[in-house]
Amino acid sequence: MREYETTFIVQPEISDEGVKALCERLDATLEKQGAIRLLYDDQGRRRMAYEIKHFQKGRYILLLYLDDGKVVPEIERVLRLDDSVLRFLTVQAKDNVVDIEARKAEAAELERLRAQRAAERAAREAEESARLAAEAESGELGRAALDDDDDADVEPDALLVDPDADDDEKEDAR
């Protein structure tokens, strides 16, 4: 068996449910043809090098699977018929995969690690946004308190310079 890699770009505003439905159609095609799906890797939304169908960004998804080559035209047909798919490309990743079970276990571990990293990244982003919101709130309160205190500490007469005073006296007053 050979390992294939199909990368496809879907429109950026397609919901997670829409992407999931597309992946389920691809899974059904793989199963029908007797291919073995290894993993999906949702690489997220990215800016594309050039505009495609009036879109400057797209959601990149990678599909790895094992097959003898018969399923590739069917996968590409499903992607071609879906209006949300902007582009796709299938390449042969490995010519001969001998130990299929080991490759499936490796792909499952890779998928688990990527899901874990995505969860950690989401948690960090949530913490960062909460921290920034707290800083913004305390910064506004702190500034208001500082503005009130600044007015009380400054003596109004210290800032005034007598217009009739000599230049030396003006310098001393400053």
Task: Tell me the C-alpha distance between 124 and 88, whole Å.
Answer: 32
- What is residue 116's predicted lDDT score, i.e. its pLDDT? 87
- What is residue 165's predicted lDDT score, i.e. its pLDDT? 56
Instruction: Kindly state the percentage of the chain with pLDDT values over 70.
Output: 80
Mark whether 18 and 75 lie in a shared domain: yes
- What is residue 148's predicted lDDT score, i.e. its pLDDT? 53
Mark whether 109 and 49 lie in a shared domain: no
- What is residue 147's predicted lDDT score, i.e. its pLDDT? 54
Mark whether 48 and 61 lie in a shared domain: yes
Q: Inform me whether the pLDDT recorded for 26 exceeds 60.
A: yes
Q: Inform me whether the pLDDT recorded for 59 exceeds 50.
A: yes
Mark whether 91 and 103 lie in a shared domain: no
Condensed to tens digits (0 to 9), the pLDDT of residues 121-159 reads 888 888 988 998 888 888 765 555 455 555 555 555 544
Mark whether 85 and 25 lie in a shared domain: yes
Condensed to tens digits (0 to 9), the pLDDT of residues 88-106 reads 999 999 888 888 888 889 9
What would the two tokens of residue 140 be? 């506004």
43, 61 Cβ separation under 8 angstroms: yes
- Domain residue limits at 53: 2-98
Mark whether 70 and 33 lie in a shared domain: yes
Instruction: Kindly state the percentage of the chain with pLDDT values over 90.
Output: 47
Containing 10, the helix (H) or strand (E) segment is strand 2-10
How many angstroms separate the Cα of 40 from the Cα of each of 18, 61, 128? Answer: 15, 7, 28
* Across 111-121, average pLDDT: 85
Task: Tell me the C-alpha distance between 70 and 77, whole Å.
Answer: 12
